[in-house]
A and B are shown apart, each in its own frame.
Chain A
């Protein structure tokens, strides 16, 4: 593909996924004619089109309620940020090309052909101002899952070569090197060793057989490596046979975020194969929202049959461990506000898991006004955090989030998504937030009652 995008150097020291020179942008990829781009956009959008998506396309009554659930619209007040408007060209294309009345719309030219200019214009709406958090579905009187439609629209955009510069760069890097942030197998191995030494925990890498395969997101490998130590500590504490695998460790899936289903499948298959190879019964996903979406809910669909192992987000694993009495925890005497990662709670169904864990830690959880499954998104997911162009609005979204969390009056902030966490760190620095976002996993690991202490 085009050189310009891959030439863009990543700034791995920054608080968030970042490029060294954000001023230079190339938001169009590949060599294609205008018409070809539009056609590719439409074909790939329609590829996974089925009954469900068609129902959603048909059901919208243009009431505009979704705007009020969207953190981006709420922050900007820009009507263009109305969730359903973000898929407008695709809605139009559906009516013209695919819906039951397509012949009618086409014959009388009632819905115009979508143009390349429109698609270019919509890139910002589809990538910069949507994290696919799905909060709009909650408010929609028709219950339309707009996030899924945005995901499908991204398929079209990717194949038309219309992905924002940075997102394309990291995706392409992930495809080439196996990790979007340069966490190659070598880097991964080095960091495991480093953390093992630093925290004096026993690490398992590339074991031939293990009950549990542990995945890591490159954000954790590169920015929050303590996660690795924390996970290892807990698994050892519970006496599990587990391992990291250098041939299948990356939990993030930028193929999914950017809209390339083939790459998404390739990325998922790496970890699925690794898990199959070692005969894993359980794959534990790290504190990463979209990884949960990618493997827990889309993994089997990529694999083409039900997965031969169980998939759990780390918070679910911890919750089960609490239930089983497998974790000995110290009591933490503080008040906590929990930020739910949208893909794990609302869209993942694991809302109660972190609450059970926090309860086991003895902290007092103060729910924010719109908490739990109705949580307001931090504005960094879905690849938004990679896009520099989106920064101004993202900080505004986070401003509202800070206020919401501040209203709880809680002393400690906890989440279980490292992508959310890096967004909190980056925005916190920018907006001088007086708090720090903590990891649920690390909180648990830090408060384990060690054998020796008993």
Chain B
């Protein structure tokens, strides 16, 4: 763990990265996060002075896709160096250690960096029945999160599950799953929702934390405003077709091939806040809508429970068949009541039949 002593600048020089490309990287991050260009030199200077940051990654009720997404994007770029530069002290899917050894590593990291370490969380946390539905090393994730969070400088929730409960919290939510922000209330929390989230958003957030020592500005859902202020629809390359009223009617029709809007096929782009349309995935290779499918709205809270993915936004949500049946029965009963009441009223007013 000697590397902790090196600053990021020293580390970059050691790896032969030029100052020029480092500045370029800083400018890129700054622009993606809406940091004024005049701030770039200061940001670069501050970032170069940054020490290795201890990061503890806790995985709870999750599917590993978040970490897959992040690792799949790794290639030898400056961005990846940020990931390389941090000291990922605990990540049970990636680390070699297991069992008691791994827990030991976690305890050590927490002790050494108490009050300063950054916690990344993926996966939701079950609350029901004291959280027994998801445990690691004999400890419920609920307890684990509380323990780890206590000494954290800040928490970043990675993926929709950690942010809002996500898939785990989908109806009927048998484990009582929730996101981090529903449990931890006394620490700075930042949400990077998405299923999975965009890796570059993570880079930006980490860079910003390293450079300024605090989390970037967030919106009302604790998402970094820089990436989540626009909707998919706002930035979608198919938007001009929406404005022209040209819609694909099925996933393989002429319109779909011509890149027409997928609104009629249930695209949730207009109500989904994320940067997919501009940043894309896999180093800008593609993203769901580009591959021909409507947006599922995966970065929004409760996206599983917003009715069918293939139902257009303007269609209603009708609830259960039982509910409709009950409403219909009540309607008929009230109709009959109306008839009885009106006759009775007629008799009363006219003084008999």
Contacts and interface: CB of A to CB of B under 8 A. Distances in A.
A49 B346 contact: yes
Contacts of B341: 100, 103
Contacts of A42: 349
B184 to A, nearest CB: 49
A43 B341 CA distance: 18
Contacts of A47: 350-351
Contact of B345 (A43, A48, A102): A102
A59 interface: no
B338 A43 contact: no
B21 interface: no
A46 interface: yes
A46 B338 contact: no
Interface in B318-353: 338, 341-342, 345-346, 349-351
Nearest to B349: A46
A43 B346 contact: no
Interface in A400-445: none
Interface string A92-103: 000001101011
Nearest to B342: A100
B49 to A, nearest CB: 70
A414 to B, nearest CB: 43
Contacts of A98: 345-346, 349
Interface in B167-201: none
A97 B349 contact: yes
Contact of B350 (A49, A100, A102, A103): A49
Contact of B351 (A43, A50, A100, A102): A43
Nearest to B338: A100
A205 B349 CA distance: 46
A98 B341 CA distance: 10
A430 B29 CA distance: 97
Contacts of B350: 43, 46-49
Interface in A213-272: none
Sort chain B's interface into a size bin: under 10
Contacts of A103: 341
B212 to A, nearest CB: 59
B342 A49 contact: no
A43 B338 CA distance: 21
A272 B255 CA distance: 79
A18 B89 CA distance: 112
B338 to A, nearest CB: 6
A103 B337 CA distance: 13
- Looking at B338, B342, B349, which has the most chain A CB atoms within 10 Å of its CB? B349
Nearest to A44: B350
Interface string A35-61: 000000011001111100000000000
A322 B338 CA distance: 54
B152 to A, nearest CB: 56
A118 to B, nearest CB: 19
Residue of B338, B346, B350 contacting most chain A CB atoms (<10 Å): B350
A97 B349 CA distance: 8
Contacts of A100: 338, 341-342
B335 to A, nearest CB: 11
Interface string B108-128: 000000000000000000000
A106 to B, nearest CB: 11
A388 B341 CA distance: 45
A43 B342 contact: no
Contacts of A48: 350
A49 B338 contact: no
B350 to A, nearest CB: 5
A42 B349 CA distance: 8
A43 B351 CA distance: 8
Contacts of B351: 43, 47
B337 to A, nearest CB: 11
A46 B345 CA distance: 11
A426 to B, nearest CB: 39
A50 to B, nearest CB: 8
A92 B346 CA distance: 16
A209 B116 CA distance: 121
Contacts of B345: 97-98, 102
A98 B345 CA distance: 6
Contacts of A49: 346, 349-350
A98 B346 CA distance: 7
Contacts of A102: 345
A42 B345 CA distance: 13
Nearest to A46: B349
A308 B130 CA distance: 89
A241 B38 CA distance: 118
A43 B345 CA distance: 12
Nearest to A45: B349
B339 to A, nearest CB: 9
B213 to A, nearest CB: 60
Contacts of A43: 349-351
Contacts of B346: 46, 49-50, 98
Interface of B: 338, 341-342, 345-346, 349-351
Given A46-B349, A98-B346, 13 more contacts: A42-B349, A43-B349, A46-B350, A47-B351, A48-B350, A49-B346, A49-B349, A50-B346, A98-B345, A98-B349, A100-B341, A100-B342, A102-B345
Give 10 nearest A-B pairs by CB, closest first. A46-B349, A47-B350, A46-B350, A98-B349, A100-B342, A100-B338, A98-B345, A97-B349, A49-B350, A43-B351
7 contacts: A42-B349, A43-B350, A46-B350, A48-B350, A97-B349, A98-B345, A98-B346
